[in-house]
Amino acid sequence: MYVATLILHSWLRWLFIGVLLLVLGRALWAWRRRLPWTTQDRKLLAWLLGLADIQLLLGILLMGFLSPQASRVFREGRDALEDPATAYWVMEHGIPMILAVFLIHVGHVFVRRGQDDLARHRRVLVFFGLAAVIVLTSIPWPFMPYGRPLFRLG
Ligand code: HEM
């Protein structure tokens, strides 16, 4: 169960990053050309929100129960953070990612309430741009101390 969840969480990261970058690319293009906010923009955001929520759910499963290292924080409390691996998964991965998903949701509300189409594209750039920076700097890339494979097979 642990490995299966890790595999899903690892592969879904690519779909999530892909849709996030697509959303940002479209918003930049549309904002510079003053293009209208379309149904496609709305649908793409809905996909992004869905993927972010699935990643959040899998992350909570890992952190709360499945990951032997990360879940220590719930069993042992603060003391577990003295282990650098546990501290990494909680403080440098889990918490920033929760913040990124929160930004995506808050951003979505602000985008929907935008006065006009230009404001909507601009709000996508601000909120989702910030979320993208957090996500891309909080992923355990292979060159990092707690790095993980780009494409997990088992
Ligand atoms: C939202 C975007 C997220 C992305 C793109 C992401 C990405 C990743 C990646 C690539 C891994 C490594 C998987 C592997 O070992 O191959 C990972 C592991 C992990 N993530 Fe996330 N994650 C996200 C959100 C979260 C959240 C919100 C939490 C916690 C609430 C979380 C908790 C964890 C934990 C506990 C591990 C594994 C620790 C272990 O190996 O035992 N992740 N994540």
* The pLDDT value given to residue 8: 98
pLDDT in tens, 41-74: 999 999 999 999 999 999 999 999 999 999 999 9
pTM of the model: 0.95
Rounded Cα–Cα distance for residues 103 and 125 (Å):
12
Low-confidence ranges of the chain (pLDDT < 50): none
Q: Which long-range contacts (CB under 8 A, 24 or more apart) does 110-114 make?
A: 111/45, 114/37
| Cβ atoms of 86 and 71 closer than 8 Å | no
Residue nearest atom 25 of ligand 1, based on CA coordinates: 59
Is the CB of 129 within 6 Å of ligand 1?
A: no
Domain ranges of the chain: 2-138
Does 62 sit in the ligand 1 pocket, CB within 6 Å? yes
Instruction: Note whether 70 and 63 are within 8 A (CB).
Output: yes
Q: How far is the CA of 111 from the centre of ligand 1 (A)?
A: 27
